[in-house]
Amino acid sequence: MRKVAIVGAGLTRFVRRALETPKELSFEATSTALDSCGLRLEDIDCVAHGSAPDAFDGIHQKGEYLADGSGGWNKPTMRVFVGGATGVHAVVHGWHHVASGLFDTCLVVCEEKMSSAMPHAQGFFLTIFDSITERALHPNLLWIFALEMNRYMERYGYTKEDMALVAVNNKMNGLKHPSSQFTEAVTVEDVINSEVMAYPVSRLDVSPVSDGAAALVLAAEPVARRLTDKPVWIEGVGWTLDTAYWATRDLAYPRYLDKAARMAYEMAGIREPHRQIDIAEPYDPFDYKALHHMEGLQLAPRGKTVELLRDGHFSRDGNMPMCPSGGLLGVGNPIAAAGTMKVAELFWQLRGEAGERQVPGSPRLGVAQAWGDLMQVSSVVVTGI
Amino acid sequence: MEDKLQVSGGTGLSEKDIRSGKIFLTDDSLDCTYAWDTGVAINRYLAELKNGRIIAKECPECNRIMLPPRLFCELCFRPSGSWVYVKDTGTVNTFSVCHVHWDASRIKEGEKPHLPAVIEIDGASPGTGIMHLLGEVEPEKIKIGMRVKAVWKPEEERTGSITDIKYFKPL
């Protein structure tokens, strides 16, 4: 397999409701990513595209519709979709294209426009539940997160306040991100006192609904070295799908992520991730999920994660900065684009280009992860400089 | 300066922009209807629910008692074996008290919150839960580990559905 580097990145602003169409959002992020490394679309060999269910946009075969905006016209273009994990998985998918030797350059483009779905995009997640044994109970998407969060907190004796600390940390980080849809910090009291949606989930425990797009440019080693003196290498990738019988799994520990992370670390030659990884971008659609995922990523011992959080271990200037971008809680959550935004953050952080968000100490190794489907899939990318 | 190069587009709209007619919208809706076949294993599961009983299936390889019953064990990837009746009692593995509907609208004043739970059914392998609802219980009294029992619809109202069990109530 060939070495693959990230050489360019671009984002749109993440907003509650965007004027731009999905195609226009994709164009903005893609052209920004190309500009950032001085390439033109004609220099790109293939496109790895990711976007969530067609039902969000009400456009069937949305990948084909988006091809114009993602630069995919007249090129080998392929769309992946693994729920919330799509944004990181699309990077894995693009890595395959280049690592295999088939292509020298690849655009990774992820887009989501959630505001079109009326009255609320959440309604379109109903059909992920088992059509016969679960949907008859009229579930809504929040149930599974609430059920998992409650089980996780119960296992280790974590409190609502503990979880709120994650929201405070990530939202604070996100205020420094130019794509963020937020302008104000929140306090632990704000989170705890926010409206209860599905106990233990309150409104500020949850990331927002967003529109946005993100793009990366990947290149094979010789091309990457010609384009930039600071390529960010994709050192390892991993992904795992667990059973859809989610109610028979241990909800307190993300087994699917454990396996995906070990796969990525092995490829990257990492034996002690909690010592070797400098920055982490765990997937954080809900505050508890960031901690749940830090454990699955082997970056914190099970049941000790809150202690580390309270000790400042996960702060921007801590030993293991968690979501320095602000994550989904602090920047926004246009589903597929949010995962790619996390890999873009690693790119900027490792190059020392993260501006106000820069993690001190010249980080050299980072990990980004996303999660989705019926709480059963995780994709992991390890990057290094 | 760097940020300007890295971020472009994503023009936020407000409700005001839309109400004032500054932005044009087009609306459309989809109406999708499906009739799902229940499958080999779930068909029997539903038939037994109609009889007021919960049935599971055993894997001859790993001896798991699987609920909902499956034609094959996904762990051993072998056809499952005998049918096994399990009890209609169990333990709450986790629960929620939900104040929103499927479309994120809030429940109305006086409307009771929904009480979804994962319930580990007695007789199935440990950790084997199903999603269902809790009832006849004050939300603040629900605890993980609480023992519960199925409350069935009257026989004549059962249709062969998971909703033939109305909910689970504390034992």
In the predicted model, is pLDDT for residue A256 greater than 80?
yes
Q: B19 pLDDT band (50/70/90 cuts)? A: confident
The reply to whether residue A197 touches residue B99, judged by beta carbons under 8 angstroms, is yes
Instruction: Judge whether B7 lies within some domain.
Output: no
Instruction: Judge whether B161 lies within some domain.
Output: yes
pLDDT tens, residue by residue, B73-114: 999 999 999 999 999 999 999 999 999 988 888 999 889 999
- According to DSSP, the β-strands at A105-113 and B89-95 are unpaired
Q: Hey, what's the torsion of the CAs at A361, A366, A371, A375, to 10 degrees? A: -80
Q: Which of A126, A201, A344 sits opposite B102 (nearest CB)?
A: A126
C-alpha separations of A304 from A216, A225, A296, B50, B120 in Å: 35, 41, 13, 46, 27
Interface mutation vs chain A, best among B4, B6, B16, B25, most A CBs within 10 Å = B6
Residues of chain B contacting A31 with CB distance shorter than 8 Å: 8
Residues of chain B contacting A228 with CB distance shorter than 8 Å: none
User: Residues near A40 by Cβ (< 8 Å), separated by ≥ 6?
Assistant: A34
Q: How far is A337 from A87, CA to CA, in rounded Å?
A: 6
Cα-only R_g, chain B: 23
The reply to whether residue A197 touches residue B100, judged by beta carbons under 8 angstroms, is yes
**pLDDT of amino acid A188:** 98
Interface mutation vs chain A, best among B1, B8, B95, most A CBs within 10 Å = B8
Average pLDDT over residues A217-245: 97
Q: A8 pLDDT band (50/70/90 cuts)? A: very high
Residues of chain B contacting A126 with CB distance shorter than 8 Å: 102
Q: What is the distance in angstroms between the Cα of B56 and the nearest Cα belonging to chain A?
A: 13
pLDDT tens, residue by residue, A102-125: 999 999 999 999 999 888 888 888
Average pLDDT over residues A144-170: 97
Ranges assigned E (strand) in A12-104 = 46-51, 77-80
Q: A76 pLDDT band (50/70/90 cuts)? A: very high
Q: Which structure tokens are listed for A84?
A: 């919330």
The reply to whether residue A198 touches residue B42, judged by beta carbons under 8 angstroms, is no
DSSP B163: G
The reply to whether residue B103 touches residue A211, judged by beta carbons under 8 angstroms, is no
Residues of chain B contacting A146 with CB distance shorter than 8 Å: 96, 98, 116
pLDDT tens, residue by residue, A16-75: 999 999 999 999 999 999 999 999 999 999 999 999 888 888 888 888 889 999 999 999
Q: B15 pLDDT band (50/70/90 cuts)? A: confident
From the options 3.40.47.10, 3.40.190.150, 2.60.40.10, 3.40.309.10, give the CATH code of A4-118+208-384: 3.40.47.10
Residues of chain B contacting A247 with CB distance shorter than 8 Å: 93, 118, 128-131
The reply to whether residue A24 touches residue B103, judged by beta carbons under 8 angstroms, is no
The reply to whether residue B7 touches residue A147, judged by beta carbons under 8 angstroms, is no
In the predicted model, is pLDDT for residue A139 greater than 60?
yes
Give the pTM. Answer: 0.96
C-alpha separations of A53 from A32, A81, A94, A336, B139 in Å: 25, 8, 20, 10, 34
**pLDDT of amino acid B1:** 37
pLDDT tens, residue by residue, B50-81: 999 999 999 999 999 999 999 999 999 999 99
Backbone angles phi, psi at A348, to 5 degrees: -70, -40
Q: What SS3 class is residue B73?
A: strand
Mean pLDDT, chain A, rounded, equals 95
pLDDT tens, residue by residue, A196-224: 999 999 999 999 999 999 999 999 999 99
**pLDDT of amino acid A57:** 83
The reply to whether residue A13 touches residue B9, judged by beta carbons under 8 angstroms, is yes
Q: Look at the block and give the residue holding tokens 């921007």.
A: A316
- Domain interval for residue B52: 37-170
Q: How far is A204 from A190, CA to CA, in rounded Å?
A: 8
**pLDDT of amino acid B2:** 46
pLDDT tens, residue by residue, A334-376: 999 999 999 999 999 999 999 999 999 999 999 999 999 888 9
Interface mutation vs chain B, best among A32, A122, A147, A203, most B CBs within 10 Å = A147
A72, A47 contact by CB (below 8 A): yes
Q: B5 pLDDT band (50/70/90 cuts)? A: low
Interface contacts A/B by beta carbons within 8 Å: 191
The reply to whether residue B3 touches residue A142, judged by beta carbons under 8 angstroms, is no
Q: Which of B3, B96, B144 sits opposite A178 (nearest CB)?
A: B3
**pLDDT of amino acid A93:** 97
The reply to whether residue A140 touches residue B101, judged by beta carbons under 8 angstroms, is yes
Q: Chain B residue with minimal CA distance to A244?
A: B74
Instruction: Judge whether B17 lies within some domain.
Output: no
**pLDDT of amino acid A128:** 86
Q: What is the distance in angstroms between the Cα of B15 and the nearest Cα belonging to chain A?
A: 9
Instruction: Judge whether B66 lies within some domain.
Output: yes
Interface confidence, given as ipTM, is 0.93
pLDDT tens, residue by residue, B126-159: 999 999 999 999 999 999 999 999 999 999 999 9
Q: How many domains does chain B have?
A: 1
Q: Chain B residue with minimal CA distance to A19?
A: B11
In the predicted model, is pLDDT for residue B4 greater than 80?
no
